Structure 1
């Protein structure tokens, strides 16, 4: 972790942001006491909208396998079912 006085941080903010983007943590002090910390922002994940997924699923038509239907029909005609 890099420690920088507030006055220096004001003058070198762009440089410090670059270091934070590279993965370092920067502690900013005022009169020798830590007052702030710069850390890299984590990516925010969009929450899953389960209600929208259910609505979309309810609107979709079920998949029908034409070969499966003809197989059942043939079995019925031949009295195998």
Structure 2
């Protein structure tokens, strides 16, 4: 897609979406192409990337700790026994 600067100013959001979807977006000054919009590849942190290595499910960090383990983290000498 080739657009002039005036169109690019008024339709920037649309052009960004086009670039994100893989379309080639070129902005021209007059009839001469001057810039190209290119989407930035996102490489994010992937949770569970070792899942297939037989290491088990791992901890659920959103679940509360058992009381005994919490006491150890808080500096108790040994967990209390009921």
Q: TM-score, normalised by structure 1?
A: 0.50
The structure that is helix-richer by fraction is 1
Q: TM-score, normalised by structure 2?
A: 0.49
